[in-house]
Amino acid sequence: MDKNAPDMTLAPYACQPDQSRGRLFPEKLSTFRSPFQRDRDRIIHSSAFRRLKHKTQVFVEHEGDYYRTRLTHTIEVAQVARTIAGTLGLNVELAEAVALAHDLGHPPFGHTGEDALAELMKPYGGFDHNAQAIRIVTSLERHYADFDGLNLTWETLEGIAKHNGPVIGPHASGAHSVSDPALMPYALAQFNARYDLELHTHASAEAQVAAVADDVAYNHHDLHDGLRAGLFTEADLMELPVTGPAFAEVDRLYPGLDPSRRRHEALRRVFGEMVVDVIAVARTRLQTSQPQCAQDIRDMDGPIIRFSKPLFQNLKAIKGFLFTRMYRAPTVVIERRRVTAMVNDLFPLFLRDPSLLPDEWQADVARARGETDLARVVLDYVAGMTDRFAIQEHARLFPGADHADAHRA
């Protein structure tokens, strides 16, 4: 079977491998893999993907073996994306590639680290983990003889850049959108000037699937991790929409069930309800709009893949609960302050004395022209750190600091 030929099993609005816009640096087609399969494989084999193993999801990586890391979260997102994409007749390999790459740009300590770096980078063009993911896959992964980066297809790059919605323009939406193109993080603006990702349009249906799969995965696993951490109880979740009915159904079907099994059975129902809802909404919207090609999806005035309005409102209530009881729990807030202080120590130190960067970074330092260029080199280095490496480096470079609490489980 020719993996680069049209796939007649795909819906007309799916991204066909033979219609890919190609790569920035042209390459011969693979005999056995489609362009999107090659993208997926390159992402999995990248250094940045491996580092996700030791990067925070909510809890700092060393706090316990059972909590999700960026890597386990990413694998869960990819699984959900494959399920939804396959059911809707979309290109599963493209949806999976975008899902696997969507968090590559996260710095150490999750959103806390991102907030700290965004503040530090305000004078130098800003920081956004989505834009940093583009920088990683187009520049910072330096393993191939013919190019820097992974040389991914246009469709995968587009999906990484705007899976949450258009970044600029009248339909700009999502956490990574900006009101003015001049406000785009430099990492995205710099690459987009070389290779136009059409940031004013929506992404493909496959990329939209990756975005909603992200929501499904973290809504599910944050509930599970919060329960395991003791930040709230099953009784608390009985008071919420979606989770309350799920626990009630398990209690009806399995009275007296072991608590750990009860928890798992309830939360898998929450998970399933989200997936079923997304698929049902997508089928209705696709039937109504009748898109005839992938570009029709991009040109719509809103996403084709999303939750129903009732479920979206219920999930907002759950997110509000998680924000108060988990993301801003006293123990988590204390850890946020500690790791923010570490980032606020490390970045200025490397900016003042770039000779402290490893030898393999000194060529980038030498090419820097002025403080802005240098700050961006330092950012690339610090943002690439894992949680544990950042903690170790801080202990090495600031030996007088108290690091005992940073290693407490």
Question: What's the pTM?
Answer: 0.94
Residue 145 resides in a domain: no
More confident of the two residues 55 and 6 = 55
Residue 322 resides in a domain: yes
CATH number of the domain enclosing 296: 1.10.3410
AA identity, residue 107 = P
User: Which H/E stretch holds residue 99?
Assistant: helix 92-101
Residue 32 resides in a domain: no
Give the pLDDT confidence score for residue 409 in this predicted structure. 28
More confident of the two residues 66 and 233 = 233
Three-state DSSP class for residue 56: strand
Give the pLDDT confidence score for residue 58 in this predicted structure. 65
Q: Which residues contact 290 (CB under 8 A, 6 or more apart)?
A: none
- Residue 402 binned pLDDT confidence (cut-offs 50, 70, 90): low
| pLDDT tens by residue, 297-349 | 999 999 999 999 999 999 999 999 999 999 898 988 898 899 999 999 999 99
Is the Cα dihedral 133, 225, 221, 218 positive or negative? negative
Nearest CA-CA partner of 131 in 144, 118, 148: 118
As a whole number, the mean pLDDT across the chain is 93
Residue 358 resides in a domain: no
| pLDDT tens by residue, 340-393 | 999 999 999 999 999 999 999 999 999 999 999 999 999 999 999 999 999 999
CB atoms closer than 10 angstroms to residue 132: 25
Give the pLDDT confidence score for residue 7 in this predicted structure. 76
Is the Cα dihedral 195, 201, 203, 204 positive or negative? negative
Cα–Cα distance between 55 and 37 in angstroms, integer?
A: 25
Nearest CA-CA partner of 406 in 109, 71, 106: 109
Cα–Cα distance between 252 and 324 in angstroms, integer?
A: 30
Q: Are 131 and 177 in contact (CB under 8 A)?
A: no
Cα–Cα distance between 156 and 167 in angstroms, integer?
A: 16
Domain count, the chain: 1
Residue 314 resides in a domain: yes
Query: CA dist 14 to 215, 293, 307, 360, Å?
Result: 22, 7, 20, 42
Q: Are 141 and 47 in contact (CB under 8 A)?
A: yes
Residue 170 resides in a domain: no
Residue 245 resides in a domain: yes
At 258, phi and psi to the nearest 5?
Answer: -50, 135
Domain of residue 290, residue span: 207-327
| pLDDT tens by residue, 102-154 | 999 999 998 899 999 999 999 999 999 999 999 999 999 999 999 999 999 99
Q: Are 98 and 159 in contact (CB under 8 A)?
A: yes
Q: Are 189 and 145 in contact (CB under 8 A)?
A: no
Cα–Cα distance between 100 and 20 in angstroms, integer?
A: 19
